[in-house]
C-alpha cells in the first residue's frame, strides 16, 4: 500500500465515523495541496492535511520488547528435554518480568542461557522479587497459561500531539478554501490529560495564526474523535 492509498484508507475510516461518508467523494492530491480533497454531495469542498501522531522512541521500545519476548521463547525452546520439562513445571502459571536496563538485543541473547539456568535453580512456586544473574526479576503467579515473559525497558514517554500539530502550522498550501487538519493516532500513546493540554494549546490559535479551520485528532479503529474549531477573528 503506497502513501496515497494509506491516506485514503485512513481518511475513509475517519470520514465514516465523522459523518462525511457516505455522502461524498475523496481524492488524493499532491503537495503543495493538502493530502485529501473531499467533495460532499451538497457541493461542499474541504481539503484535509493528514499527519500521524507518534512517539518514535516509544514505538522503537515496543518493537524491541516484542523482539526480546521472541528471544526468550527461542531460548526456552532450545533447552534440553530435561530442562524444558522442569521449566514448564516450574513456570506453567508464571509471569516473569525482568529489567534489561540499556542492554542491546545481542547482549540479552548472549546472557539468556545463564538467565534460564538461574530460573531453573529457584524453588518450585517461587513468587516475588529476586536477582537472577545480572537481572532484577519479578515473578507473579496467576490463573493463566505460562510462562509469560516481560522484558522491562526504561523509556521516556512524551506527548507528541502538540509538537506534531505545531509543525503543520508552518506549512503552506495552495488550496484557498476550507482546510482542516486530521491528526491520527494508529498506536495509542496518548498520556493522561492530553485533551486538556491540547485544549489549552489550540485555544491560543486563531484564524490569523492558523490556516486550518478545524483540527481533528482521531484514534484509529475507534469512534473517538477530538474536534477543535479555530477561532475566527
CB 119 within 8 A of CB 90: yes
What is the CATH code for 3-55+157-229?
A: 3.40.1350
Between helix 161-169 and helix 194-203 the angle, nearest 10°, is 20
Where along the chain do its domains lie? 3-55+157-229, 58-152
Closest of 129, 16, 12, 112 to residue 70, by C-alpha:
112
Per residue in 127-164, pLDDT (tens digit) is: 999 999 888 999 999 888 889 998 876 544 446 778 88
Residue 6 CA to its chain's centroid (Å) = 17
Closest of 84, 82, 45 to residue 178, by C-alpha:
45
| pLDDT, position 157 | 44
- How far is the C-alpha of 136 from the C-alpha of 121, rounded, in Å? 15
Residue 46 burial (CB < 10 Å; 0-12/13-18/19+)? buried
* Inter-CA distances, 112 with 75, 86, 100, Å: 7, 17, 11
- How far is the C-alpha of 54 from the C-alpha of 213, rounded, in Å? 23
State in Å, rounded, how far the first CA of the chain is from the last one. Answer: 41
Give the three cell numbers for residue 86. Answer: 522442569
| pLDDT, position 201 | 85
Residue 70 CA to its chain's centroid (Å) = 19
Q: What's the pTM value of the predicted model, to 2 decimals?
A: 0.59
pLDDT beneath 50, residues of the chain? 155-158
Give the three cell numbers for residue 102. Answer: 540499556
| pLDDT, position 176 | 78
Amino acid at each position: 500500500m503506497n502513501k496515497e492509498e494509506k491516506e485514503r484508507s485512513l481518511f475513509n475510516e475517519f470520514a465514516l465515523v465523522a459523518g462525511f461518508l457516505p455522502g461524498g467523494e475523496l481524492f488524493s492530491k499532491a503537495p503543495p495541496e493538502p493530502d485529501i480533497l473531499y467533495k460532499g454531495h451538497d457541493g461542499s469542498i474541504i481539503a484535509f492535511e493528514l499527519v500521524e501522531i507518534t512517539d518514535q522512541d516509544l514505538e522503537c521500545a515496543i518493537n524491541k520488547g516484542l523482539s526480546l519476548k521472541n528471544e526468550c521463547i527461542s531460548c526456552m525452546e532450545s533447552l534440553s528435554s530435561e530442562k524444558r520439562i522442569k521449566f514448564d513445571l516450574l513456570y506453567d502459571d508464571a509471569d516473569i518480568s525482568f529489567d534489561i536496563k540499556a542492554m542491546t538485543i545481542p547482549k540479552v541473547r548472549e546472557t539468556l542461557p545463564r538467565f534460564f539456568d538461574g530460573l531453573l535453580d529457584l524453588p518450585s512456586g517461587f513468587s516475588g522479587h529476586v536477582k537472577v544473574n545480572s537481572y532484577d526479576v519479578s515473578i507473579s503467579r496467576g490463573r493463566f497459561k505460562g510462562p509469560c515473559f516481560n522484558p522491562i525497558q526504561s523509556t521516556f514517554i512524551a506527548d507528541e500531539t502538540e509538537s506534531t500539530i505545531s509543525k503543520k502550522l508552518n506549512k503552506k498550501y495552495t488550496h484557498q478554501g476550507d482546510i482542516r487538519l486530521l491528526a491520527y493516532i494508529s498506536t495509542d500513546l496518548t498520556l493522561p490529560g492530553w485533551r486538556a493540554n491540547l485544549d489549552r494549546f489550540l485555544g491560543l490559535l486563531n484564524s490569523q495564526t492558523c490556516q486550518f479551520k478545524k483540527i481533528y485528532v482521531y484514534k484509529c479503529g475507534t469512534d473517538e474523535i477530538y474536534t477543535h474549531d479555530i477561532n475566527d477573528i
